[in-house]
Amino acid sequence: MSCPTCGRTRIDLVGIANEVEERLRGCKKNIKVAVMGCVVNGPGEAKEADIGIAGGDGCGLVFKKGEVLYKVPEERLVDALMEEIEKL
C-alpha cells in the first residue's frame, strides 16, 4: 500500500512504491508493506501495515505497525525496508 499523497508528500512516492513492488516480486510473506509520503503522518496513517517507510527531505523513517524504528538517509530507505522485511 502507499498513501494517497498530498501537499505534505516529500518523496517520489510513485517511483519508490514501484521499486518496492519490483523488489518484493516473488516474496511470499503475507505482510502489509506501506510506502508513505511524509514522516509527520505516514507512520500513524499506516498503523495497520506490518512494516513501512515514510519520506523524506533527504531522510526517511522505517516503521513497524505505526511505531518508528529508526531514521535513514533517503537513498537507503528502500534497502532498509527490504532488510526489515527479511527479518519478519
Residues that bind ligand SF4 (CB under 6 A): 3-6, 8-9, 36-38, 41-42, 45
Nearer of residues 9 and 19 to ligand SF4, judged by Cβ: 9
Closest distance between ligand SF4 and the C-beta of residue 46, in Å? 7
The residue (of 42 and 60) whose beta carbon lies closer to ligand SF4 is 42
Instruction: Pick between residue 6 and residue 30 the one whose CB is nearest to ligand SF4.
Output: 6
The answer to whether residues 17 and 81 touch, using CB atoms and an 8 Å cutoff, is no
Which among 30, 27, 77 is positioned nearest to 55, based on CA atoms? Answer: 77
Three-state DSSP state, 61: strand
64 in helix, strand or coil?
strand
Q: Least Å distance between CB 7 and ligand SF4?
A: 7
**Nearest-approach distance from CB 22 to ligand SF4, in angstroms:** 21
Q: Which residues lie across from 67 on neighbouring strands?
A: 64
Indicate the DSSP class of residue 2.
Answer: B
